[in-house]
Amino acid sequence: MYKYIIRRLLQAIPLLFVVSFVIFILMQSSGDPLATMGGRMPPRAEDRERLRQSLGLNDPIYLQYIYWLVGNDWRMVDSTGDGEPDRYGTRRGVIRGDFGTSIITRQPAMQVIGDRLENTLILTMTAQVIIIVGALFIGIFSAVRQYSIWDHLFTTLSFIIYSIPVFLLGIILIYIFAVQFRIWGLPHLPTAGMYDPIEGRSFGQVARHLVLPSLTIAFISIAGYSRYIRSTMLEVINSDYIRTARAKGLTERRTLFVHAFKNASLPLITLIGLDLPLLIAGAVVTETIFAWPGMGKMFIDHLNRSDTAVVMALLMIITLAVIMAQLLIDIVYTWLDPRIRYD
Amino acid sequence: MTTQAHDNSAPVQIGAVAAEVPLSNRQRTLNRFLRHRMAVFGSTILLCIVLFVTIGGVIYSERDANFNDVSRRLQPPSAEHPFGTDTIGRDILARTIYGGQISLLIGVTAVFMSITVGTTFGIVAGYYGGIIDALLMRFTEAMLSIPTLLLLLVMAKYFAGRIPTQELFGRTFSGSVIVIIGIIGLTSWMGLSRLIRANVLSLRESEFVTAARAIGASDFHIILRHVLPNTIAPVIVATTLGVAAAILSEAYISFLGLGVQPPTATWGNMLEGSRSHIDNAPWLWFFPGMLIVLTVMSINFVGDGVRDALDPRSRE
Amino acid sequence: MRIKRLLALFAVLIFAVGAFAPVGAQGNNAVVLYPQELDNLNPMYSSMFFMGITTDLYLAPAWNFDDALEPNPVLVAEVPSVENGGLSEDGRTITLTLREGLTWSDGEPLTSADFLFTYQMFSDPANTPNTTYPYGEADGIIESVEAPDETTVVVNFVEPFAPWVATLFTAGILPEHILGPEFEANGTLIDAAWNRAPTVGSGPFVFAEWEIGSFMRFVRNDNYFGNAPSLDQVILRFIPESDVLLATLLNNEGDLATFIPFSDVPALEAAGLEAQVVPSGFNEQWVLNIREGLAHPAMLDVRVREALALATDREAFTENALLGYTYPAPGYWEGSPFASPDVSAPPFDPERAAELLDEAGWVDESGNGIREQDGVELVLRYVTNVRGIRQDAQAVFQQQLADVGIGVELITYPSDVFFNGFAEGGPVAIGDYDIAQFSQSPSFPDPNTTVFRCGQIPTEDSPDGNNYRGYCNEAVEELFAQSERETDFDARVAIFHQIDELIAADFVFVGIWYDADTWIVSERLDNVAISGATPFWNVADWVAN
């Protein structure tokens, strides 16, 4: 087992290497962080050239990648942008825990990400809870009442909602529950943000602002989850061993939850486990619409201004989280099902 | 379907057992699909949508879809413009027709690309194993571990504006259409290639492949005649669901400003362009939005039906 | 099972609390909605438009501009002029006399030493500021800055420098007593904590909080040297999506916003919000490429360029798509006194356009609907960046140009690719276009600009340069040089009128629409008088009802 874990971890190293190299090349050769610097007018050419030089953007891409990876404190750099190298670099590189500095905020990339992590988790965790609870309810219900009118209704509805582009759903929800409800004089929800800056951050405020974005994410994902739960439940319910349990005279409820659900939960754990790292990534589209100050919105902001350090750091963290989650699932599997061996 | 029947009969040469099996299999599969009410419903809607964009394309020319007249902007649906007009007075009906052609084209070609890459990777990795397998699978895992939407965005940004406008079959395609097809195709093949590899791994040791190898068939021949046809089921399911996913992906990329660029219409960028008018011109988003929802939904219904039909375990 | 019930309960609880929590009201505060989050609060480290307008809240400049675009003295007692002795006759020396009793928000005095410090920080390359203009040594504009006493600052220019009023000490004065020790210790300000949390400032409000990704809060500065502000707080909220921003305004959750599409203005006005349209110097325009070897050969012919203008109905576009809130700009300086009254926007006259093209030798011989000459088809590359209204304009003008036999290929780039520099292969900078559409302004409210200067044409040998048109006219060049040395306002106006007329005759600029900024102001706020150059110049006077 340990051998397996170590082997997987060792395999992850070249994998991270490949991912980082590909994304670095894509990032460095798409936009230019100095093209507009967020301004309405492009900066003066003189300033642009000076900043390019001082930020090291004039170096060949492979060299920039090496700096990103191992740092540049072993080499003289031109920190003032006057064309003359004047001091040693200060970057220590990813392998020494330095993910670089954001060109936009001029903060360490890790700090930029750290500032957003909590906000994103509030949103994605809430959404995930709603998804799991909702999907379990719908999935089990439709499995037990297979081909009933409710099964068809739930299935159809979940397919319809699953097919709505999430941004359309979000905007329509805003217009109904914030704008129209207010016009109709009903208690209405806020349009965007995480809490009202004047009211201050409180549980009530955050909860109020959470309703629309978390439901938007949940609606879209419940469909997939509940279909999955329905089919695994059906498989278990129709299995010989549940039939035996029923035949032994166990009550319907008990059969269902103690036996069927327990058996159907293994693949569910896999599904949740695979989704966990993505909770960190946040919901790009939903966060952007609802101006939720999370990771997804940050990714878009920094991608749009070609902020390689932050985009790279975020993608690396998520990739690592995915690898870890997969490993964890493999390990949990051997626990739950002793027949599985990896060595 | 003919190739499939032909290829399925391949084992017969060797085993010479039940020659009737493939046909009855097909029959049973079709019956199972037809009993799936929602799949039938989905197929019907899908057929209607395909007819809408093809017959519509005969009635309206592409010029109608791009003809603008700013003085007739934002007109609600009327006899002259059944779906109303957009922000520069273009006819939304004509645009949903041509936009639909592009959206469906993106869906189908992107998936075709993803299937090609995924199948090739899966089969090569599974059949040859060893170092090739290890390399290909590490690469697949690397691609899998990056969230797809993030990867799509990074790539969309990289390719934006790099591909010139193309003339194909007398129609002009904005370079961004090709970019979108390419990036969706290149970011969606990984799941399929893992699935196929697993299938191929078990097939590799099966009797008929061993037999084919014994009579001296080449690797290429074995893959083409024996391995490929037997992995067709997951490919079909992935194809159907992939088309729906690709159409949605196109809409998301459009939302983030990196999608197919106007004046070439797609349902996704029509929807995106309507967002300032959710309130005052609902026909702007209603028609493209409705078509996306209907298309994605019916494709998913069909996919569900195909999965059940191809799954030998499901017998209702 | 128990866990499931618990989770369900939790979900129900959240939504119950959510739905009945009290509805927020702005009270004695102003909530400003920004579509972008600010990147840095030190004016040295931000190029963002929204950052530029925010400094008036917390960092006093020497002067800002009122709603009539007149300089409004803030830290200085009077804006320097020849009459008050602040500006020397030869235009090479400016003497700023500061007001008495200036203080920072922490009670420390604000003196000429802070001005000197600001100059030193901007001009020190070790700080790597976003721009050194006009302070940097390499810019060759300022010879020296001196502080002979606590309330006097003397600036000596190398040559007379007319654009000083829009560029000198207008971005906010930095606090030496806070940043000085930081600079001493690190040799650079780039990592100073103050950059992101300027808790000591000099504006009517002082920075209080920055909730990353959400909002920024500024509270009343009790030590403000001017009249005490009436509002308790000014809050900047960041809402990236324009339709959600619109919904937020309609929902009375915000008081002010800008960059509102003209098409949204009627809905907002119907909801009781006021729209203030203010000149900002920007004009949406066609930048026509005349660089030989890079542009389509037809572009080098002024008759073809005039035909492009005549063939497109820009008037109807502004009238309909922009609801008549604006009009095609006749010249580069539209919206300021520097625009010549004798320059008018070319009319829509497709017949004349066709005649001009015929005269220039571009005729459709093959009958495919597109003109050609010597086997070269008249197909132009029309580029812009991703923005709905620009892409609408592209489609409309493509159709109108096709009607006179000009083929147009539309290309759209993401903003940071579109505006890339020459070395990075930006399509406009390297000249890979014929018509480029975007919005430009001079260094508003000053008329100076480098985009028509001969020395600014980017080439392989000198990639720096903003003259993407490749325009070089000796007469214009001479007038620009003259205008930089001219310190008399009226004389400068006369020079720019001549420049405007010469450029109009060369058809390298075609105005699509006069791009004034639309500010939406809620009826709750009084005394809001937005200025196109420094919108929040009188934020201390704002009153909330």
Instruction: Decide yes or no: CATH 3.90.76.10 for domain C60-186.
Output: yes
Q: Nearest-CA residue of chain A relative to B290?
A: A164
Mean pLDDT check: name the lowest of A133-147, A254-268, B118-132, C275-289: A254-268
Q: Is residue A130 part of a domain?
A: yes
Domain end residue (candidates: A42, A68, A96):
A96
What's the pLDDT score for residue A342?
60
Quick one: A144 and A28 in the same domain? no
Question: Number of residue pairs across A and C with CB atoms under 8 Å?
Answer: 232
Q: Is residue A35 part of a domain?
A: yes
- Cβ of residue A32 closer than 8 Å to a chain C Cβ: yes
pLDDT tens for B250-303 read 998 888 888 888 788 999 999 988 888 888 889 999 999 999 999 999 998 898
Nearest to C465, CA basis, from C424, C422, C407: C422
pLDDT tens for C56-98 read 999 999 999 999 999 999 999 999 998 899 999 888 999 999 9
**Total domains, chain A:** 2
Instruction: Report the mean per-residue pLDDT for chain C.
Output: 91
**Do C321 and B68 count as a contact with CB atoms less than 8 A apart?**
no
Mean pLDDT value of segment A242-252: 71
Nearest to C286, CA basis, from C404, C160, C381, C368: C381
Quick one: A82 and A181 in the same domain? no
For residues B215 and B145, give the distance between their C-alpha atoms in angstroms, rounded to a whole number. Answer: 42
Residue C226 Cα, gap to closest chain A Cα (Å)? 26
- H or E element, residue B75: none
Residue ranges matching CATH 3.90.76.10 in chain C: 60-186
Mean pLDDT check: name the lowest of A173-187, B151-165, C495-509: B151-165
Mean pLDDT value of segment A41-63: 85
Nearest to C75, CA basis, from C260, C259, C258, C203: C203
Residue A244 Cα, gap to closest chain C Cα (Å)? 23
Q: Are C390 and C416 in contact (CB under 8 A)?
A: no
B-chain residues near C414 (CB < 8 A): 157, 160-161, 257-258
Residue B114 Cα, gap to closest chain A Cα (Å)? 19
Domain end residue (candidates: A51, A66, A96):
A96
Q: Nearest-CA residue of chain B relative to A316?
A: B146
**Do B289 and A165 count as a contact with CB atoms less than 8 A apart?**
yes
Instruction: Decide yes or no: CATH 3.40.1010.20 for domain C2-42+203-280+518-544.
Output: no
Tokens of C76: 């200085």
Mean pLDDT value of segment A141-145: 82
Could you tell me the CATH superfamily of domain C283-515? Answer: Dipeptide-binding Protein; Domain 3 (3.10.105.10)
Please, which pLDDT band fits residue C153 given cuts at 50, 70 and 90? very high
Mean pLDDT value of segment A316-330: 83
What's the pLDDT score for residue B52?
95
- Cβ of residue A172 closer than 8 Å to a chain B Cβ: yes
C-chain residues near A129 (CB < 8 A): 7, 10-11
Which residue in this structure is represented by tokens 């003289």?
A76
The size of chain A, in residues, is 343
Per-residue burial over A279-317, b = 16 or more CB atoms within 10 Å of its CB, e = otherwise: bbbbbbbbbbbbbbbbbbbbbbbbbbbbbbbbbbbbbbb
Quick one: A19 and A122 in the same domain? no
Q: Is residue A56 part of a domain?
A: yes
What's the pLDDT score for residue A182?
86
**Do C320 and B262 count as a contact with CB atoms less than 8 A apart?**
no
Q: Is residue A102 part of a domain?
A: no
Quick one: A256 and A323 in the same domain? yes
Task: Specify the pairing of strand C407-413 against strand C379-385.
Answer: parallel
Q: Which positions 250-289 of A are in contact with C (Cβ < 8 Å)?
A: 257, 288-289
Quick one: A73 and A194 in the same domain? no
What's the pLDDT score for residue B3?
31
Quick one: A52 and A195 in the same domain? no
Domain encompassing residue A45: 2-96
Per-residue burial over A87-108, b = 16 or more CB atoms within 10 Å of its CB, e = otherwise: eebebbbbeeebbbbbbbbbbb
Res B17 pLDDT > 70: no
A-chain residues near C21 (CB < 8 A): 204-205, 207-208
Res A38 pLDDT > 80: no
Q: Is residue A343 part of a domain?
A: no
CATH of the domain at A113: 1.10.3720.10
pTM beyond 0.90: the answer is: no
Quick one: A151 and A222 in the same domain? yes
B-chain residues near C321 (CB < 8 A): 70, 73, 87-88
- Cβ of residue C379 closer than 8 Å to a chain B Cβ: no
- H or E element, residue A323: helix A308-336
Q: Which CATH architecture has domain B39-63+89-310?
A: Orthogonal Bundle (1.10)
Res C437 pLDDT > 90: yes
Mean pLDDT check: name the lowest of A147-161, C172-186, C507-521: A147-161
Question: Which sign does the torsion angle of CA C180, C184, C185, C191 carry?
Answer: positive
Residue A59 Cα, gap to closest chain B Cα (Å)? 19
The residues, any chain, with a CB within 8 Å of residue B275's CB and separated by 6 or more, are: A167, A171, B285, C241, C242, C243
